[in-house]
Amino acid sequence: MAFKVITRFILKFKIRRDNLTRKRKFISWDKVEKIALIIEKHNSLNKSAIDKLLEESKKYIEVFYIETDSKEHTFGDWNCFSKKDKSLLNLPKKFNLNELTLKNFDIVINTCDENNLFATALALSIQAQLKCGENKSFDLADLIITKKQADNLKNYLDDTFKYLRMIKA
């Protein structure tokens, strides 16, 4: 419990500092080239349906799959984060974050709930002009799209893509 409080404090501090310097920009769907998608492990995850949806978007989408309770990575074609990739504070280890800061994306979509501090740290570390999320607890997301059904990732991504297509910049 004490580690979680410390982790939340660290994240809030880093997000506040990042919000002062980050250039937020809404981008029209036609100009979007690269998307970072953060997903957490669910029993109801249908990988083939998600892969099909991502392919139909006709965008380059890099998936970051969080399974910090597993010892091994589940998928070879997604960027998986397992138990060995998290620190004592349940944050990504520094060398993982250093790699992420080198990549630039147009949009980051964090599909994880607010209690997944690992996912929040990933979303913070990924460089993007627009950050989407499902909650506003850390003031990280520029565009907040709430889930209609808690365990239906495909429907949530459909809704998110629908709203992103509506942006005219």
Scanning 73-143, the segments in alpha helix (DSSP H) are 94-101, 117-125
Of 66, 69, 165, 159, the residue nearest 121 (C-alpha): 66
Q: Under CATH, which architecture does the 2-166 domain have?
A: 3-Layer(aba) Sandwich (3.40)
Q: What is the rounded end-to-end Cα distance, in angstroms, of the chain?
A: 43
What is the residue type of 164?
A: L
User: Looking at residue 34, what is its pLDDT?
Assistant: 96
Cα 143 to Cα 3: distance, rounded to the nearest angstrom: 29
Which residues touch 154 (CB under 8 Å, ≥6 apart)?
Answer: 46, 49, 50, 53
CA atoms within 13 A on the CB side of 48: 0
Domain spans of the chain, in order of start: 2-166
pLDDT at 59: 94
Q: Report residue 73 as tokens.
A: 């990575």
pLDDT digit string (tens) for the chain, length 169 residues: 678 888 888 888 888 888 888 888 898 999 999 999 999 988 678 889 999 999 999 999 999 999 988 888 888 889 999 999 888 888 888 877 777 778 899 999 999 988 889 999 999 999 999 999 988 878 888 899 988 877 788 899 999 999 999 988 6
Give the per-residue pLDDT at 139: 83
The confidence score (pLDDT) of residue 87 equals 86
